[in-house]
A = this chain, B = another copy of it.
Amino acid sequence: MEFKNVSVVKEANVYFDGKVTSRTVLFESGEKKTLGFMLAGDYEFNTDAEETMEVLGGEMSVLLPGESEYRLYTKGESYIVPANSSFKMTVEKYVDYCCSYKN
């Protein structure tokens, strides 16, 4: 699976000392996605726009806003994080993901 006719920002986005990194992909429509990779760890992120997170490989346990329990997401699964919220995740080994930002 490829994204075609896109622009890619050359430099990586680096978080948590490099344990979480991503590359920004820009579409002609103005849409933005990031292709990212997380190594083992516990993380918390904040959203501005609504985000759809799709697992491309590996797995991640996620605690969504308002939920009381973590849920495991594996390859091919996705979840939505509301705008202006925060969510937590635990990665046991690693996870490859695609994050789509709502325009």
This chain: copies in complex = 2
Contact B12 A96 (CB under 8 A): yes
Residues of chain A having any CB pair with chain B under 8 Å: 1-12, 14, 17-19, 21, 23, 25-26, 35, 37, 39, 56-58, 93-94, 96, 98
Shortest distance from the beta carbon of A73 to any chain B beta carbon, whole Å: 16
Report Cα–Cα, A13/B39, bound state, in Å: 14
Contact A18 B56 (CB under 8 A): no
Contact B1 A10 (CB under 8 A): yes
Beyond A11-B56, A57-B12, whether A18 also contacts B2 by CB under 8 A is no
Beyond A19-B39, A23-B23, A37-B21, whether A3 also contacts B14 by CB under 8 A is no
Contact B8 A5 (CB under 8 A): no
Beyond A2-B10, A3-B7, A7-B6, whether A94 also contacts B18 by CB under 8 A is yes
